A and B are shown apart, each in its own frame.
Chain A
Amino acid sequence: MGFLFDSLKTALDLILSLDPEVYNTVWTSLYVSAIAIVFATIAGVPAGLAIGIGRFPGRRVVITLLNTLMALPTVVVGLVVYGFLSRMGPLGQFGLLFTPSAMIIGQIILATPIIANYTLAALSASDSRIMPTALTLGASTTRGAILLLQEIRFGVMAAIIAGFGRIIAEVGVAMMLGGNIRGYTRTMTTAIALETSKGEFAFGLALGLFLMAVALLINMFLNFLQQR
């Protein structure tokens, strides 16, 4: 127990003394995941809406595919994107591998199916009278879809937060596509894995505390919005 307490004390010291390495790592994690979630939302929410509202051949197949993509192991996404971005790959000429941009691409791929699927679920559970109500009041189909989105806004927010939770806590993509470069692509999760394996348990714990704080803040924010 002494070891754990000592490590916790050192971790708190690192946080309170504003250790630049800890804060740099936290910042990298946050900005990479924040940019990724914006793009994943732009892709995932309309996709979820289109699948939910649309009636087209192969819709069930698309939904099954979406469910499968939700469970994709992060290292598999990392591996596939690595293949595309590596020097020999089709996008190798852009030199994106081991940059924050590569991590953002990987995280967009991870978060988009989650956001689309949760949006679809929110839509399926929504009141079937919303769209006819909008149409009979003179709305176009697009305007009706916007109203639908407003009415299921809490479900959509939950979808975005679930997507963010997945990517802020993932290791595979950040490790394989970012390369865990100190001060550049090192995120909280890759740093925890690395520092703990080096025996720097307290440093890992400090980052772990930050990760939990991020999760807590996001949930508090969601609760705040739902109570408004």
Chain B
Amino acid sequence: MTPILSLRSIEMRYNKHLALQLEKLDFSAQHIYSLVGPNGCGKSTLLQIAALLLKPTKGQILFDGEQVLWKKNTLQRLRQNITLVHQSPYLLSRSVRHNVAYGLKIRGIDSKEQHRLTHSTLELVGLSGFGRRNARELSGGEQQRVAIARALVLQPRLLLLDEPTSNMDRASIEAFDRLMPTLVEQGMTIIQATHAPDPAQRQYSTIIHMEDGRLA
């Protein structure tokens, strides 16, 4: 089966500093992967490259067998299958509903369907009733859940999560751990970066250890 994402001879340099070097890394479809490692080991860089937001200095990326050519139109088409949730996500200075519906609007989904999908996804992340609230006025954990809802509502084939539970309380983390395997059943592939995966994450995900920009 063709991997959903393949990285070949990837190198990412910031000036002379080598931030990431990967000879070969494949991610199979409908799996959960946890990138584990200390700060600065290259996890976030890898996620940004996987999200096609950062062009590596060297190397090849294949998304579902198609080579990424870094051309405007191709990138936009491929990015519509991949969504990255940053560790400290940027929420638009609008309502929660507006934030979650943003990607749907871009895809030309009609407003009635936008409303339905937004409502059900907010319910999924435990934020039903938050739709009209200003997204910027929520707590850190709630903001993180809005960002996750904003990604989930798009049903991406590849979901990338950078420290997704870092601001969440215990109950939210447990709900998140219950949610993850159900997303895979729906057809998603998930790659998350984390310092230390909790026992549940160790159970449902394939752990990839990283150190100094390389696979450990």
Contacts and interface: CB of A to CB of B under 8 A. Distances in A.
A147 B53 contact: no
Interface in B89-134: 89-90, 92-93, 102-103, 106-107
Given A127-B90, A130-B90, A135 B106 contact: no
Interface in A134-189: 135-141, 143, 147, 150-151
Given A133-B90, A138-B154, A151-B93, A143 B53 contact: no
A132 B107 contact: no
Contact of A129 (B72, B76, B86, B106): B86
B103 A138 contact: yes
A150 B48 CA distance: 24
B86 A143 contact: no
Contact of A133 (B48, B72, B86, B107): B86
B72 A135 contact: no
A150 B107 CA distance: 19
Interface in B54-93: 72, 76, 79-80, 82-84, 86, 88-90, 92-93
Nearest to B94: A150
B76 A137 contact: no
B106 A136 contact: no
B136 to A, nearest CB: 11
A136 B90 CA distance: 12
B79 A129 contact: no
Contact of A137 (B48, B88, B93, B154): B154
B77 to A, nearest CB: 9
B174 to A, nearest CB: 27
Given A127-B90, A129-B90, A151-B92, A136 B107 contact: no
A138 B82 CA distance: 8
B150 interface: yes
Contacts of A151: 92-93
Given A138-B80, A151-B93, A132 B53 contact: yes
Contact of B89 (A133, A140, A143): A133
The interface residues of chain A, by DSSP majority, are classed as helix
A12 B80 CA distance: 63
B51 interface: yes
A137 B72 contact: no
A139 B92 CA distance: 14
Contact of B107 (A138, A141, A147): A138
A90 B90 CA distance: 51
A208 B102 CA distance: 47
Contacts of B93: 151
Given A133-B86, A147-B92, 14 more contacts: A127-B90, A129-B86, A129-B88, A130-B90, A132-B48, A133-B90, A135-B53, A136-B53, A136-B84, A137-B83, A138-B76, A138-B80, A139-B106, A141-B72
23 contacts: A129-B86, A129-B89, A129-B90, A130-B90, A132-B84, A133-B90, A135-B53, A136-B51, A136-B79, A136-B82, A136-B83, A136-B84, A137-B102, A137-B151, A138-B76, A138-B83, A138-B154, A139-B106, A140-B72, A143-B106, A147-B102, A150-B92, A151-B92
